[in-house]
């Protein structure tokens, strides 16, 4: 099979691409979630409340080598990071677009792997030069941050929202804090359930009870 080259390009203008001279030997994908600790009186330990999800991050090392061509390697690397020389024209993928007033959203494409992203960080290191000082080899450490449009994120969470009244049967060991955490993602919202079910003592729940789970306003 022919070698498939990885490349970066703008999402809104996919014509010009920055093709890598050498494919990365590996790349890593990182995903994080952010939680905060909620202290509930009477409980032996804290409850963790989900705050938000973190965007995926793709990191890789890239090598650009133009020694055989005796050509300035920045012809390739500056297409990503922006032009270092004032004599160069055009903009790199990390430069601010005059129409967007921000760097463009990009696509990292390698065969069937397509990653919509912003270029968050690039560390560039020159490791070989011609006799006149022209750099002909560079190593780039690239960090790409996943980019999702606001409308897409809203659609993704709309099906998970607590937007309808429903019921839940109490099981052995359940508490209003635990149920609020499960239903709303926040144990501190247990009072909504207590008020809807006219529960005066939230510590007393009997297995088998049917609780009304009201929607959040």
Q: How confident is the model at residue 12 (pLDDT cuts 50, 70, 90)?
A: confident
Answer whether 165's CB lies under 8 Å from 200's CB.
no
Predicted TM-score of the model (pTM): 0.67
Residue ranges matching CATH 2.40.30.200 in the chain:
7-154
Say if residue 159 is exposed, middle or buried (CB neighbours under 10 Å; 0-12, 13-18, 19+): exposed
Query: What average pLDDT score do residues 35-55 get?
Result: 82
The rounded mean pLDDT for the chain is 85
Residue ranges matching CATH 3.10.350.10 in the chain:
161-213
Mind listing the pLDDT tens digit for each residue in 148-184?
887 666 666 654 454 567 888 898 878 887 888 788 8
Q: What's the topology of domain 7-154?
A: Elongation Factor Tu (Ef-tu); domain 3 (2.40.30)
pLDDT of the residue at 88: 57
pLDDT of the residue at 131: 95
d(CA 106, CA 147) in angstroms, rounded, equals 9
Among 84-98, 99-113, 115-129, the range with the most confident prediction by mean pLDDT is 115-129
pLDDT of the residue at 83: 74
**Nearest alpha-carbon partner for 7 in 22, 21, 25, 19:** 19
Q: What's the topology of domain 161-213?
A: Membrane-bound Lytic Murein Transglycosylase D; Chain A (3.10.350)
């Amino acid at each position: 099979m022919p070698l498939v080259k990885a490349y970066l390009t703008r999402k809104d203008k996919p014509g010009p691409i920055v093709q890598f001279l050498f494919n990365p030997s590996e790349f890593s994908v990182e995903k994080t979630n952010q939680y905060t600790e909620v202290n509930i009186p009477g409980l032996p330990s804290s409850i963790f409340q989900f705050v938000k999800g973190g965007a995926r991050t793709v990191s890789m090392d890239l090598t650009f080598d133009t020694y055989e061509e005796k050509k300035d390697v920045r012809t390739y690397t500056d297409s990503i990071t922006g032009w270092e020389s004032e004599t160069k024209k055009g903009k790199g993928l990390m430069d601010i677009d005059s129409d967007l007033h921000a760097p463009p959203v990009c696509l990292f494409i390698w065969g069937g792997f397509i990653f919509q992203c912003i270029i968050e960080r690039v560390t560039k290191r020159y490791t070989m030069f011609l006799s006149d000082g022209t750099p002909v080899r560079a190593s780039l450490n690239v960090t790409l941050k996943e980019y999702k449009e606001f409308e897409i994120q809203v659609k993704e969470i709309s099906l998970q929202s607590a937007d309808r009244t429903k019921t839940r049967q109490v099981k052995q060991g359940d508490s209003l804090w635990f149920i609020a955490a499960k239903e709303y993602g926040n144990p501190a919202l247990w009072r909504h359930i207590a008020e809807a079910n006219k529960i005066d003592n939230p510590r007393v729940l009997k297995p088998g009870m049917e609780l009304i789970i009201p929607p959040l306003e």
